[in-house]
Structure 1
């Protein structure tokens, strides 16, 4: 099981170019010799098993019930929201393992310059072939240790190309267990599709798991174009965390007590100049209407710094900065929801509220990078697109007076939502994911 010696790894490839990059710190050959010497030691080989067993004790078996399949979920943000919803509606045990623990254990012996998402599956078959037996042993030992508490029927991850998941993918294959993915990446924006295809082509990525469930038809089509997945292995299910909107209760417009701005201060939304103006108008309106709550919805608390850097007026206003208020609770209470290039905008379309997407200055300047655009008639039916600061101010005035209704029919709004997230009127996404999981469990070796 020991790797061949002497064994010198080539310099790692920069994922953004075809050149090779130098490694910081110790010389490359010294670093690789140190790592490989560690792997060769008998003490380390035995240590793999004990570390894997210790990690298995971190699995959360809460609410496990006998008589139904058990799926080990590699816990991540957003993905855990899907798991939470499926626990309510599926006849499956979803038990969770924090991926940070699995990652940290492997960082002790996988050189840092090789921990590249998408590229890692090729590395372990080529440049890092000497490490493959150890990855397989570690993954298999972890799954065997987990199975001593209760048998594991499948593994479910949040993405197809995480380097830290490769050991469990390989270990699951050795044990005849399906390694499945409910992919939290969703390729529905044209520019993203081009970037993703180019990235995976450069990485020569291939999926080493069993199958993948995705949120949209577009994402499935992009994955097919990659040629990296087994035939017929990509299923469209939608995102279970949105199933709750099927049970949404309508609140009359005049009874709603919030106006919500979904923060788009971060450069990825490509509307920083617009956010500066829109947030300033929002802050000014908040100070005029103490009877309403003006909410700046963040994904994470640390995003507040980006918003304040662009719009210092927010700090002196009545605007509430919140990250932990669930959209399912917040949006139905909102007289209007303002946002740009965020899936939360799509979610707002299900809340029967006025959805405003600013469209001046840099906002929506490139239609290929937008979720929704004023040039698309179907989007115009359901969304208000103010083309100037004054237009936005006028719409906001109407909203706070409870005089701005939702736009378009419920069917129109759901169709806009479904452009980015699969939505089936007859079956929930939880049901579709359960069918996907059971199909592959029934085929396991």
Structure 2
């Protein structure tokens, strides 16, 4: 109903009045009169980072749904212009459609600036079409446009895809980009284009990993009754979709034979629906699966005997939970294996991580893990190696705090220059 309401508002009242309605209904009640405020465009996965940041006592994060921004701006922008990265190539910036979007964004930001100590906007990436008008308005109103980048290119394949994507796009200037790893920072620094300018790039790590990473000791190993696979069907994770589907089919049958719950943790509602629709093609019953979307990894695996995933950032968090982890390299080429997250060719070997190349090996490891019901405590040295190779992650210095300090430092610098 809310989306329909705002769709009607945008069509009937236009950008300025719609912005005022959004301000009074969505944002005014969130504003702090004590600490600086930042408008956050929330979206899938990024919301997990926001969840760890929102308890800050030094910044108030004002949450505005990206889906709501999509609905409103789609009234003025034609469909062909609503594409990540390449929207400027589809519609000229001076067109009436973009002017309508800028009027909406400008009015909303002006209200926030007028009625609070307001720093600017925080997004999950720098190339979303929903943010384009907000970036332009931030620049005009001397506000900061900041990014806590949810993408973390941990493999050569992922880095190559991003480099191709950003080679020719016209994004403009971004005041601050916070990233999860040194490799992501180096990638952005290597982009040499006058069409994308990053004033500052800072490694903060992902706030979503800040939660105390312990499965309650009250849950005994013998009480654990589930197998969990974290979705990785998307081509950015594995080259051959058989990797995912053959593993899913094996886990489906294995869990049924053993009387275990089979959980599939999806990345989004869209991911969940696509997988459920594809189940019939593989002669599987989606009703026998426990589908999860919104829960955090710790909530999903707290009664899991073993977790399975491939080339996904979730691997980092699973390692912090001391759960046995299977990484399937089924149907993976040697090049893909060498490039993969946590492949032992990188010296990332550790008890509790089981790499399998065939379905037979998968079956052997599943039976062994379930028979032993062993809890693995990953070593400090391994955690250090993980951080150096893939991800800036330090429980002693939470990422949410680093994000907070980076934003406040930027705000102090900008205040001195005004």
TM bracket (short chain): 0.7 to 0.9
Q: How does 1:254-403 map to 2 (within 5 A)?
A: 254-268=222-236, 269-290=238-259, 292-299=260-267, 300=269, 301-305=272-276, 308-309=279-280, 311-313=282-284, 315=286, 319-362=289-332, 366-367=336-337, 370-379=340-349, 383-403=353-373
| Residue 238 of structure 1, CA deviation | 0.9
| Aligned twin of 1:18 | none
| Residue 186 of structure 1, CA deviation | 1.5
| Aligned twin of 1:165 | 131
| Aligned twin of 1:23 | none
| Residue 249 of structure 1, CA deviation | 4.3
Partners of 1:266 and 1:306 within 8 A in 2: no
**In structure 1, which of residues 98, 113, 122 is the aligned counterpart of residue 65 of structure 2?**
98
How many Å separate the matches in 2 of 1:147 and 1:173? 13
Higher Rg? 1
Shift in alpha-carbon separation, 1:322–1:77, aligned structure 2, 3 A: closer
How many Å separate the matches in 1 of 2:227 and 2:201? 39
How many Å separate the matches in 1 of 2:69 and 2:233? 33
How many Å separate the matches in 2 of 1:256 and 1:120? 48
**In structure 2, which of residues 158, 165, 169 is the aligned counterpart of residue 192 of structure 1?**
158
Give the secondary structure class of the aligned counterpart of 2:26: coil
* Uncovered stretches (5+) of structure 1, i.e. residues with no partner: 1-43
Q: How does 1:6-17 map to 2 (within 5 A)?
A: none
How many Å separate the matches in 2 of 1:128 and 1:423? 39
Residue 177 of structure 2 corresponds to residue 208 of structure 1 = no
| Residue 382 of structure 1, CA deviation | 5.5
- TM-score scaled to structure 1, two decimals? 0.78
Partners of 2:329 and 2:357 within 8 A in 1: yes
Give the secondary structure class of the aligned counterpart of 2:40: strand
Partners of 2:276 and 2:286 within 8 A in 1: no
Give the secondary structure class of the aligned counterpart of 2:243: helix
Residues 32-78 of structure 1: per-residue CA shift (max 9 Å, x gap): xxxxxxxxxxxx9x943223222323434556443111111112112
| Residue 158 of structure 1, CA deviation | 1.3
**In structure 1, which of residues 67, 73, 76 is the aligned counterpart of residue 43 of structure 2?**
76
| Aligned twin of 2:109 | 143
How many Å separate the matches in 2 of 1:135 and 1:227? 29
| Residue 430 of structure 1, CA deviation | 0.6
Give the secondary structure class of the aligned counterpart of 2:168: helix
**In structure 2, which of residues 394, 398, 416 is the aligned counterpart of residue 424 of structure 1?**
394
* Uncovered stretches (5+) of structure 2, i.e. residues with no partner: 1-10
- Give the count of matched residue pairs: 396
Shift in alpha-carbon separation, 1:258–1:62, aligned structure 2, 3 A: farther
Partners of 2:338 and 2:345 within 8 A in 1: no
Residues 294-328 of structure 1: per-residue CA shift (max 9 Å, x gap): 32222333143266246424558x54333344312
Residue 142 of structure 2 corresponds to residue 176 of structure 1 = yes
Residues 76-115 of structure 1: per-residue CA shift (max 9 Å, x gap): 1122221121112442111112233333333333343333
Residues 367-421 of structure 1: per-residue CA shift (max 9 Å, x gap): 3663232433214665211222222111111222244553752441463366333
| Aligned twin of 1:24 | none
How many Å separate the matches in 1 of 2:274 and 2:387? 25
Give the secondary structure class of the aligned counterpart of 1:180: strand
Give the secondary structure class of the aligned counterpart of 1:118: coil
| Residue 200 of structure 1, CA deviation | 1.1
Higher strand content, 1 or 2 = 2
How many Å separate the matches in 1 of 2:19 and 2:283? 49
How many Å separate the matches in 1 of 2:305 and 2:14? 58
Partners of 1:74 and 1:99 within 8 A in 2: yes
Partners of 2:322 and 2:378 within 8 A in 1: no
Shift in alpha-carbon separation, 1:149–1:247, aligned structure 2, 3 A: farther
Partners of 1:87 and 1:93 within 8 A in 2: yes
Partners of 1:350 and 1:414 within 8 A in 2: no
Partners of 1:56 and 1:142 within 8 A in 2: yes
Give the secondary structure class of the aligned counterpart of 2:189: helix
Q: Which moved more, 1:107-116 or 1:189-198?
A: 107-116
| Aligned twin of 1:237 | 204
